[in-house]
Structure 1
Amino acid sequence: MDLRPLALGILGTFSISLCHARPPSLNLFTFESPPYQVAARTDDGVAYVAGETIDTVNCAASQAGWSTRIRIAPQNRAAHSLRRNLIDGYFAIDPSTELDTTAKQSDPVSLEKWYFFTTQPGPIPDTARIGVVDGSNEKAWLEANGYNIFISVSSPSQLPALLERGRIDAALMDERAMTGLHTPDEPGYGELTAHFLRYAPLYLYMSENFTANNPDFLSTFNRYLPACMEGQVTLSAEEEVRIRALAEQLFSEIDSILNLQQAIDAGPRMETLTDVLTFDSKWQALAPDKATELANTILALPGSRALHAWKLTHRELVTEALLTNNMGTLAAISQLTSDYWQGDEPKFTQVLENIRAGLAGQNTIFISDIRYDASTSRFQITVSAPVGPVSDGVPKGILALGLDIENALVNRKSH
C-alpha cells in the first residue's frame, strides 16, 4: 500500500492548521477618554475602540504575541471585573493601592497632563469648588491627596458648562481632553485659564489569574512599550518655551562652575570610529551594573566629579548630565551611562542639524520628546546644546541633560 498520499494529506492538513493559527487574545476593558480611548463604529456599524492609548496597547501586545479585544466599560465596573478575574486586564488608570493587592501593573501605557481649569486668572483659592468626573483617575487622585471635591459629574462634557455657569470654580481634567470639549469661539464659551497640576502616568493592570498563567507577559509587554509610545508624548508649544528657558539657565549654571572646553580636552579620545564602536560595545555589555575600565577613567575625571556634584544640587530635576567631544564620545559624566558613543543619538545629531541650518543662540538647543525611563520610573526629556567653537558644522562638543519633565514644568510654572 502506497502511504505517500495519506502522509501528504496529513502534512497538508497540519500546514493549513499552522497557517490559520491565531495569536491568543487579551480580554481588556478601558473607558472613554478622547483622544486616548474613543468608542467608534465602522461604516458597517461594527463597534470598536480607537485612540492613541489603544494603538500603544495593541502595538505592545502584538509584539508580545497577543491580539486584543478591547471594550469600553464604566470605571467602577472595570475595576470590579478585574478584581474578580472576569477580564484579563484594565487600562489606562492611575496607580491603585486597591488593585495592587490583586493585579499586576505594567509600565505606563499613556501619559496625561492634568490641569485645573478656571474661568478666572490668578491662583486657585483653597476654598475653590472643584468639579471632576465621577469614577475618574482625577477623582481618585484628588481624594487620595486630601482635596475636597464639590461635585462629581457623569460626563466630562458637563465640566466646561459648569465652569461657564459659575457652578464650580475649577475643573480637573487632562489638557487634551478639555481642548476637545471646550471651544472658546462657540457662543457661551469664554477663555479658560489652565493651572498645571501634574503629569499622570497611566497603566495597564493585568488580573491575578492571567499573570499566574502567563508569568512572562508583562515583562515582554513592557519591553516593547517605549517603541510603541514613541512620538505620542510630546511637549506643547508653551511647554517647549518654558523648557528652553530652563535649559538655558541650567547650561549657564554648569558653564559657571566648569570650564567645558577644558573638560572636553581632558577626556579620552578615540582615533577611529571602529575604536569608538569597539569600546561602546564593551561599555553597553556591562552597563548599568558594572563599569568598564574606560568608564571608571571618565568617572574619575574632574569634569565628571563637577557634573556629579552639580547634579546633586538638582536631584529632583536633573536625572543625568554628560559632556561629549566632537566625535560624540563621552568626555565627562555625572554617573555611569548606558552607552559610550552618543554620536548617533538625537541629543548629538539634532544639535548639529540646528547649527548647519544656520540657527544660533538658544535656537540650537535640542529638546527631545518625553520618554519613560523604567530604571528610575520617571518620565524624562533630554536637552542638549553645543559647546565651544564650530568647525565644518560640528562644535567642539555638546552638553546634554536629562530632566524629570514633571519637576521641570512645576519649577517653571507661573501663577
Structure 2
Amino acid sequence: MNRNFLISLTTAAAVGFFSSTVAANEYEAALKGLADEQIRVWAQDPAVVAAIKDQNKTSENLSQSDIDSMDKKWRAETKGGASPMIDKVLANDTSTFLKGVKEESQGTITEIFVMDKKGLNVGQSDVTSDFWQGDEGKWKKTYAAGPDGLLIDDVEFDDSSQTYQSQVSVTIVDPETNVAIGAVTVGINVEMLE
C-alpha cells in the first residue's frame, strides 16, 4: 500500500477523531442543561414512574437466559414480518406519552426509550434495535449509578435521520424513596441546540 496514502488516512482519522471529540465537548453544557431542566422533569411523570414500577414487578424474577431470549425475539422482529412483541410495546401508554414528548420537541428529540431496573424497554417513541439495554453504558451509567446517574454520549452522525446526535441518559427514581427504578435515553439533534 502507498505510504503517502497511509499517512493521509492516518491524518484524516486523527482529524475526524479530534472533530468528534470537540463536537461532543461543544454541546456538553447544553445537553447537561437539557437533562437537568427538561428530561429529568418529564421522565418523572407519574404515569412513566408507575409503568416502570409495574414492569419491575414482572421482570423481577427473569433470569439472564429469559432476558436473552426476549432480546433475541425482539431483534428478529425488527427484521420484518410479524412483530407482536414490538407492537405491544409501541402501543402502550408510556410509548404514547414518549411519542408526544418527541413531537412537542419539534425535531430536537430524535428518539426516546424508557428502561426498567433490568434494562428492558418499558416504552419508546421509535423501535429500538434491541429490547435489552442492560449491557450498555446508557443503563450501566444511569440506573446502575443511582439516582443522579447521567450519561452524555459523544456526538455522532446518524444516517437514518441525517443529523448529528448525542444520546442523553438519566436515572428515573421513585419519588417517594428517591431510589433508582429505571432510566431513560433521549436522542438529541444537537444542530437544534444552536
TM-score relative to the length of structure 2: 0.79
Q: CA deviation at 1:322?
A: 0.9
Q: Partner amino acid for 1:372?
A: F
The answer (yes or no) to whether the contact 1:291–1:336 under 8 Å persists in 2 is: no
Query: What one-letter code is carried by the residue in structure 2 that aligns with 1:396?
Result: I
1:33-62 deviation line (CA, Å, top 9, x unaligned): xxxxxxxxxxxxxx9437553458xxxxxx
1:243 aligns to what? 31
Do structure 1's residue 377 and structure 2's residue 165 form an aligned pair?
Answer: no
Give 1:12-411 correspondences, 5 Å limit.
48-49=7-8, 53-54=12-13, 232=21, 235-236=24-25, 239-255=27-43, 257-267=45-55, 269-270=58-59, 271-287=62-78, 289=80, 292-352=83-143, 354-355=145-146, 361=148, 364-389=149-174, 395-407=180-192, 409-410=193-194
Equivalent AA in structure 1 for residue 155 of structure 2: I
C-alpha contact (below 8 Å) 1:260/1:387 kept by paired residues: no
- Structure 2 distance, partners of 1:53, 1:247, is 33
The Cα of 1:389 is off from its aligned counterpart by 4.2
Specify which structure has the bigger relative contact order, considering alpha-carbon pairs within 8 angstroms and separated by 6 or more residues: 2
Specify whether residues 55 and 354 from structure 1 end up closer, same or farther in structure 2 by C-alpha distance, changes over 3 A only. Answer: same
Q: 1:55, 1:293 → 2: CA distance?
A: 45
Name the one with the larger strand percent. Answer: 1
The alignment of Structure 1 onto Structure 2 pairs a total of residues equal to 187
Q: Is the 8 A contact 2:44 2:172 kept in 1?
A: no
CA distance in 2, matches of 1:54, 1:353: 34
Shift of 1:318: 0.3
> Which consecutive unaligned segments of at least 5 residues does structure 1 have?
1-21, 29-46, 57-108, 113-230, 411-415
1 CA distance for matches of 2:134 and 2:110? 20
Give per-residue Cα distances to partners, 1:128-170, cap 9 Å, x unaligned.
Answer: xxxxxxxxxxxxxxxxxxxxxxxxxxxxxxxxxxxxxxxxxxx
CA distance in 2, matches of 1:251, 1:402: 11
Q: Who wins on radius of gyration, i.e. which is larger? A: 1
Distance 1:290 1:239, change over 3 A: same
TM-score (norm 1): 0.40
1:348-379 deviation per Cα after TM superposition (whole angstroms, max 9, x unaligned): 01124643xxxx64xx2111112222222222
Tell me how far apart the structure 1 counterparts of residues 114 and 162 of structure 2 sit (CA, whole Å). Answer: 24
Query: 1:243 is paired with a residue of what secondary structure?
Result: helix
Contact residue 282 and residue 292 of structure 1 kept, 8 A:
no
Q: CA-atom RMSD, angstroms? A: 3.2
Query: Unmatched 5+ residue regions in structure 2?
Result: none
In the alignment, which residue of structure 2 is the partner of 1:97? none
> Would the aligned equivalents of 1:233 and 1:371 in 2 still touch at CA under 8 Å?
no
Contact 2:117 2:143 in 1 (8 A): no
Assess, with a 3 A threshold, how the Cα gap between structure 1 residues 329 and 256 changes in structure 2: closer, same or farther. closer
